Structure formats: structure tokens, C-alpha cells
């Protein structure tokens, strides 16, 4: 998977990175139509430089909870109050395999710890539902502005 937004100094804008993300798998865009909560999750993949492997899915969840203003409680509630979101998550886990999903999460443990430390070093938390200025900013500039280190 050659994803340019996995590089710390990516010159794509956040919006271009998101379009690239959606071009890799049209299901991602469809999921945002079914469950809008996936929009900010997908932005986190791009902003924080994470792909969609099981290992990176665990990391992006922690990024959403600790590196954004979403927080643990709201993130969890937003995902689990929406029946469509729950269906999508179950489908993804079933497709990947239950055992593989569990072990993939465990494989991410050290990187998740890095995320927790990196979240503390950020100059400010990322606000979900960003405005056009942020969507049109280059990823390298946003990462510098927020002091984000790509941990992939």
C-alpha cells in the first residue's frame, strides 16, 4: 500500500489525503454515508499517517481518543449509539477474523504507548469536524502546527 500520507513530511492537503484514502477503498466513503462518525475517523487516518491494517486501526482509535478533542467518552458513545456504526464495525472484524483482530490490537501495544506520549507533546488537540482552512492545509504544515509525529 503506497499511501503518501504515511510520510511525516507529506505535501498533500488534508482534503487531498482524504480523497486518496477514499480512492483506495470506496467502502470507506460509503461507510461515512451510513455512519457519519467514520468521517472524523478517516480524517485521523490521514492526519496521523495511519493505514487501515488491523494494527493501525487500533492506533487510530487511540489517536481519536487522546490526540483530538473527541475524547474517550464521546468517541465511544458516538460509535456505539449508532446501530449502523456497530454493524460496520462487526462486519470489519468478521471480515478480518476475530482472532486476527484481537492479536492485531495486541501487536499495536507499543505504538499505542508512543501515541499516548505523543498526544501529550502536541501543541494542541485536533478538533473534530475541521473547517475548510484546515482541510486545505498541507499535512506537513498541520503536523508541524500541532506537533504531530507520525507513528506507523
pLDDT tens digits, 63-97: 999 999 999 999 999 988 999 999 988 888 888 77
Q: Which helix (H) or strand (E) holds 16?
A: helix 14-24
Q: If pLDDT is split at 50, 70 and 90, which confidence band does 2 have?
A: confident
- The answer to the question of residue 24 being in a domain is yes
The residue-averaged pLDDT of 32-46 equals: 96
Higher pLDDT, 120 or 97: 120
β-strand partners of 68:
126
The residue segments making up the domain with residue 132 are 4-146
pLDDT reported for residue 1: 60
- For helices 109-121 and 54-66, give the axis angle rounded to 10 degrees: 30
- The answer to the question of residue 59 being in a domain is yes
The domain tally of the chain equals 1
- The answer to the question of residue 151 being in a domain is no
- The answer to the question of residue 130 being in a domain is yes
Q: If pLDDT is split at 50, 70 and 90, which confidence band does 59 have?
A: very high
pLDDT reported for residue 74: 96
- The answer to the question of residue 152 being in a domain is no
Amino acid at each position: 500500500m503506497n499511501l503518501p500520507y504515511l510520510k511525516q513530511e507529506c505535501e498533500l492537503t488534508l482534503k487531498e489525503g482524504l480523497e486518496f484514502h477514499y480512492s483506495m477503498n470506496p467502502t470507506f466513503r460509503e461507510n461515512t454515508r451510513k455512519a457519519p462518525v467514520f468521517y472524523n475517523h478517516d480524517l485521523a487516518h490521514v492526519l496521523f499517517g495511519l493505514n487501515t491494517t488491523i494494527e493501525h486501526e487500533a492506533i487510530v482509535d487511540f489517536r481519536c481518543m487522546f490526540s483530538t478533542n473527541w475524547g474517550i467518552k464521546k468517541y465511544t458513545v458516538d460509535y456505539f449509539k449508532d446501530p449502523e456504526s456497530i454493524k460496520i464495525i462487526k462486519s470489519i472484524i468478521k471480515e478480518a477474523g476475530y482472532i486476527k483482530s484481537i492479536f492485531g490490537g495486541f501487536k499495536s501495544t507499543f505504538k499505542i504507548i508512543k501515541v499516548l506520549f505523543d498526544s501529550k507533546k502536541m501543541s494542541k488537540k485536533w478538533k473534530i469536524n475541521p473547517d475548510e482552512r484546515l482541510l486545505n492545509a498541507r499535512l506537513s504544515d498541520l503536523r508541524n502546527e500541532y506537533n504531530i509525529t507520525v507513528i506507523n
